[in-house]
Amino acid sequence: DQQVKQNSPSLSVQEGRISILNCDYTNSMFDYFLWYKKYPAEGPTFLISISSIKDKNEDGRFTVFLNKSAKHLSLHIVPSQPGDSAVYFCAVRPAGGSNYKLTFGKGTLLTVNP
């Protein structure tokens, strides 16, 4: 039973436009949410995170939104750049759990076209 769902396997956007990646989770006990980016032949790299006590966190072109009532988070990238083309994973951590025992979604492949 998947606790973290990324329902869009892929997303294609034009350079300069907004990319919106979505993630749904099932357990309200998760208290920390992260987005990772993964290029081929590399490990995932941390992108941005948000605590359950917030509903928005912004870092440059990247913004993560958390809707706890809907158990939904999203990652906005604006403006999108070709170098953003990668697989994006959302990951969650249960409250009181190990900082490193994360549950990941299946990922969304983002392609940004020049």
Contact positions toward another protein, by CB under 8 A? 4, 6, 32, 34, 41-46, 49, 89, 91, 93, 98-107
Output 77 or 91, the one with its CB closest to another protein: 91
Closest C-alpha to 6, from 113, 101, 91, 93? 91
CA distance 81 to 111: 9
Using the minimum distance from each CB to another protein, give the nearer residue, 14 or 39.
Answer: 39
Partners of 93 in the beta sheet?
32
Q: How far is the CB of 41 from another protein (least distance, A)?
A: 6
Quickly list H helices, the chain.
Answer: none
Q: Which is nearer to another protein, 64 or 77 (CB)?
A: 64
CB of 60 to another protein, least distance (A): 15
If the CB atoms of residues 61 and 79 are measured against another protein, the closer one turns out to be 61
- Residue pair 11/26 in contact (Cβ under 8 Å)? The answer is no
Q: At closest approach, how far in Å is the CB of 114 from another protein?
A: 27
Q: How far from 36 is each of 68, 97, 114, CA to CA, in Å?
A: 20, 19, 23
